[in-house]
Structure formats: C-alpha cells, structure tokens
Amino acid sequence: MLQINEFKENKEALIAGLKVKNFPNPEEVVEKVLTLDAERRATQQANDDVSAESNSISKQIGMLMREGKKEEAEQVKAKTAVLKEESKKLQEKLSSVEEELQQLLYTIPNIPHPSVPEGKSDEDNEVIREFGEKPVLSDDKKPHWDLIKEYDIIDFELGNKLTGAGFPVYKGKGARLQRGLINFFLDEAEKAGYSEVLPPIVVNEASGIATGQLPDKEGQMYQLTGHDYYLIPTAEVPITNMYRDTIINEKDLPIKNAGFTPCFRREAGSWGAHVRGLNRLHQFDKVEIVQIAKPEDSMAALDGMVEHVERLLKKLGLPVRVLRLCGGDLSFTSHITYDMEVYSGGQDQWLEVSSISNFLTYQANRLKLRYRPEGEKKTQLLHTLNGSALALPRIVATILENNQTPDGINIPEVLVPYVGFDKITK
C-alpha cells in the first residue's frame, strides 16, 4: 500500500507511474486520496480541539468545586455534555473517513520503477538477455504431455478422478524427480545464505491483505468454507507475514528465507498448448526465496536474487531468457519484476518458470514491518522482495522435453545424486 506522503510529495510522478501500469483515471483517484486525507486531518484536528476544550472545562469545574462555587460548577458542567456528544460525532466521522481512505488505498497498485517499459501485455515485455543452447531434437520429438503417458510418470486422469482438472498425480520416477528438484533448490538456497522455513499452506485474511493478494486477487485464491482462511497461492504470503507487525533490529538485516510449499491457484481455464499438461495447474510445488532489506540495499538484493535463479537454470542445463516486465504485465504489488523463461524443445516455446520482484515499501506498509536505524528513535519501513527459485511444473516439463532420446529421458547431471537415477526408461 502506498504511503500518504507519496501522494503529497510526488503527486505528478505517482500519476505518471499509475499510467505506466494502465491504472484507470489516476488523476481522479489521486485527488480523491488527497481530499479524503485532508478531511481526515481536519476531522482529527476538530476532535483534538474539542478534547482540549473538554479537558480545560474539567479543570475549571474542579477549581470551582474547591472554591465552593457549586452552582457555577454545575452550569459549566452542562457544557461538557454538549462537547461529549460533539466528540462522539467527530470520532464516528473520523472512523468513517479513515475506513474509506484505507479501502481506496487498497485499490491503488504499486508504482513501477523508472526502467519499467510501457506496455499492456506480456508481448511488450523487454528481453534483457539469453543464455544456453536450445536442444536439437529429432523430428518425432514429443511434448511432455505425451512423454508422461509413455513413461507413466505423471497421471492427469487419476488426478482428475481424485480432485479435478489441474491436480496431477506424480508416480514412480516422476515423483522422485519432483522430490529431487525440491531438495536441490533448497540446498542451493541454503548455500546462497537463505534460511529454510516450512510455513503453513493455509493463511488468514489478514495475511492475504498484508502481502497484497487480498482484495486484489480474491477470485484467484481457494477459500475454506466457513472461515477467513485461504490456501496459499505462493509461499511468499506466509513467509513474508512471519514479520508482520515487527520492528527488526538493523543488525539482523537483510533477512533471507527460503521455503518449499504446495501452491494453489484458481486460474481461469482456457484452451491451447500454452495451458496444456504441466503448463498450468491448480496445485503445484514451488521453492520461494524472500528477502527483507533496508531501502538503500533492496535493488542490489534484487540483482542477487536474479543471479541466484540464473545459476539454478544454468546448472540444470536449460536455455534461458530474462525479461523485464512492462507496466501492463507487472503484478499489482510489484515495483519491478524480472521473469525467467526456459525454452521448451518439445513445444517450441518459451515457458515462464520464475518471477523475481522488489515491492519497495508497498507490502511493508501493509505489514507494519519496520526497522530502527542505529542511533535513531524513529523507525522506517523496510523493503520486501521475493522470487520463485523455482516453480516445478514447467521445469519438469522442460527437462522431460529437452532431454528426450530414443532410449529414454536423460536426467541433468546435477540432479542424479538427488533422484538416484540418470535416465527415465519405459
């Protein structure tokens, strides 16, 4: 959530940033925020004045009573009843204005970094770099949805029987490949200085609001009937919320956590190869990395997270391209995001496997996540960052497709110690 001072001090830049994000009617919304804030401050001041007058009268009554002027004291006391009623009305108005302002701020996205290109969709994203060689496959190459049937390692029909579409069952070497990738990603995160946590996969409404999934993405989350509990769309939500309502010691920064969880998303269904098989699921596994950093350190932290994910993909031997997302493709809460895509040889297309984002103070403001600089009394908001390192479905799909041979599917060398085999055969 944006801070009020950003609307006052950087009004024109804020409006320009909202336009890059294709936010509708930014001038009107910004003016409404400023109007509500002015009304809030005026109401607060009026209530403070009434309280001050009431306190002054109370002292006057006490003095009159001590002087034995009971009749005068009773006359003055009548004024306190009027002031009390006036204060009650002002407090009700203040609560109403504050609630309206808060709800309005919830609807306004984060402001993009100056380097974020303008654009309306993923077609306008900027390719930063590419590395790795695309696989040379035979003419009879197959996409992963055919390979998993041929080698009987992932069963979509059984998952559909148990739950529904988008909930596959991993079997045999498919399950071992999944587990091996999770352990590999977690081990690499630990080597990079991330402390592992295993958070709940169910969070409350307050956690969803604090990281920005609610109310913006409410329709994309699974809610438990009869509760304000939600299945997590990403481990970002519980891990970041571990620090909600917290003042961090400066010496403990930066904080670096990594966690593996299942993730659940109610994405709208559509047809086509881009959502077939493992390309889009309602339940999937992911290792998430999260950082909490001082404002002056967060962009360097973002670069470090991008480099970490690049190293993972290089070790897996996958062709990669790195994109800077345009304004129209940025998430609601993101200030700047880099996407990692891998080239899937069986489908002849690039697949997104990771997003690494810096949110500046946007989440921290909702989280009330602060630190106190050494030697200072006043606290400051921290910056939050996160990234997929990595989401498994499309990684698995690409490994299967890019390493298919007439004799079976070769396993990347770095994964062999984790899975216990070097080839998937029939």
54 annotated as a binding-site residue: no
Contacts 24+ apart (CB under 8 A), 414-417: 414/184, 414/315, 414/316, 415/177, 415/180, 415/181, 415/184, 415/316
Tens of pLDDT along the chain (426 residues)? 999 999 999 999 999 999 999 999 999 999 999 999 999 999 999 999 999 998 888 888 888 777 787 777 777 777 888 898 999 999 999 999 999 999 999 999 999 999 999 999 999 999 999 999 999 999 999 999 999 999 999 999 999 999 999 999 999 999 999 999 999 999 999 999 999 999 999 999 999 999 999 987 778 899 999 999 999 999 999 999 999 999 999 999 999 999 999 999 997 554 455 679 999 999 999 999 999 999 999 999 999 999 999 999 999 999 999 999 999 999 999 999 999 999 999 999 999 999 999 999 999 999 999 999 988 989 999 999 999 999 999 999 999 999 999 999 999 999 999 999 999 999
Residue type, 138: S
Q: Which helix (H) or strand (E) holds 380?
A: strand 380-381
Residue 13 structure tokens: 């830049």
Determine the pLDDT at residue 375.
85
Residue 63 structure tokens: 């003095």
Residue type, 356: I
- Kindly report the number of other CB atoms within 10 A of residue 88's CB atom: 12
In CATH, the architecture of 122-424 is 2-Layer Sandwich (3.30)
Burial class (CB in 10 A: 0-12, 13-18, 19+), 185: buried
In whole angstroms, give the CA distance from residue 347 to residue 349. Answer: 5
Q: Answer whether 129's CB lies under 8 Å from 321's CB.
A: yes
In whole angstroms, give the CA distance from residue 400 to residue 397. Answer: 5
Dihedral sign of CA atoms 190, 194, 199, 201 in order: negative
**Cis amide leading into 199 (omega within 30):** no
Determine the pLDDT at residue 268.
53
Q: What are phi and psi of 325, to 5 degrees?
A: -70, 145
288 annotated as a binding-site residue: yes
386 annotated as a binding-site residue: yes
398 annotated as a binding-site residue: no
Q: Answer whether 382's CB lies under 8 Å from 364's CB.
A: yes
In CATH, the architecture of 4-106 is Orthogonal Bundle (1.10)
47 annotated as a binding-site residue: no
Q: Answer whether 163's CB lies under 8 Å from 201's CB.
A: no
- Kindly report the number of other CB atoms within 10 A of residue 272's CB atom: 7
- List every span in the chain annotated with CATH 3.30.930.10: 122-424
Residue 313 structure tokens: 């993909």
Residue 396 structure tokens: 């698995």
Q: Answer whether 170's CB lies under 8 Å from 384's CB.
A: no
Q: How many residues are listed for the chain in this entry?
A: 426
- List every span in the chain annotated with CATH 1.10.287: 4-106
Determine the pLDDT at residue 271.
47
User: Which pTM was predicted?
Assistant: 0.92
410 annotated as a binding-site residue: no
Residue 237 structure tokens: 């939500």
- Kindly report the number of other CB atoms within 10 A of residue 154's CB atom: 28
129 annotated as a binding-site residue: no
Q: What is the CA radius of gyration of the chain?
A: 28
Q: Residue 223 gets which letter from DSSP? A: B
100 annotated as a binding-site residue: no
